[in-house]
Structure 1
Amino acid sequence: MPFLFASTAAGQDSFRDKLVLDPDETCSTGVPAAGDIIALALRGAKGKNYVRAGNQDVPRLAVRGAVTDEYSIFRFVQAATEDTVALFSFGHEQFVLMDEETRLFAQAEGKAALLMSLEDTGDGYFRIKLDGYPFWMGMNANGYLDFRARSTDNAVTFCAQLIAAE
């Protein structure tokens, strides 16, 4: 399945221009739909603690405060495998991949994208699972994201704040 992306046409607002987020309500309800453009936050973030793909030479995913620019904006793209998605970072215009130490980076071309599945927690939030493996997205003490959580008890629970829908 080819991956397609929308780009900002001349004269239209950029994603940065659309980043007007309510600090008291960070979440949509439940799992975001494939194609939605979102800011990805920790459960209960209340305007803080959003996922960001670093804008340095090493674009690691980490939880780094408020949504400030396109490095904090993502899209879950439907993958060819049923019930799987790939995470696309608008700031890097790259998909998320995983290195040999299970760390997450925004450095992949479409076919090298890491496949994930999203699990609805039933209370308006969701968790992210590595497709085909019993590992969940977790977070270390420094806020970096990886796939080291072996159970939902240790997994990070997310909410998605919708910025735009397809």
Structure 2
Amino acid sequence: MEIENLHTQKEGKMTISFIVNGDKHSLEVPATYRLVDILRKELSLTGTKVSCEIGRCGACSVLMNGQLVNSCLLMAYQINNSEIETIENLSKEELHPIQKAFLEEGALQCGYCSPGMVMALKALLTDNNHPTIDEVTDSLSGNLCRCTGYNGIIRAVHRYISNS
């Protein structure tokens, strides 16, 4: 893919095409517009949170082409022709089993980190239905809970595993 083919001549913007939660989108945005801003401001998908804005907290975690990414670190030009999945996609009709386990185990305190935590766990549990505690801990290493709700989160993972 050649970047110059993506740019428009109008005001330094480019047209990007991508899929979010199964829906195709084509937007004209500055090349360095962040994915988190596209999701929240352009597509009104506010489940993805903005916190540290430097990729350290994981509150903005989404899946891009099946891989967990920090949406605050991805620029518009990097998401062209990609497929994005956000927290909103997990509960279109009913809560995803990971979300149910979070509720049942009280893995939510303020809830700000929860979307990123759930997406990180979805990324892990999609490929590994029975992770070890070390694998769970490793998969959550990029996500911070400032309310120290980690025990509830670990209990929720155990509940999810025992129910699957």
TM over 0.5: no
The structure with more helix, counted as a fraction of residues: 2
Q: TM-score, normalised by structure 2?
A: 0.31
The structure with more strand, counted as a fraction of residues: 1
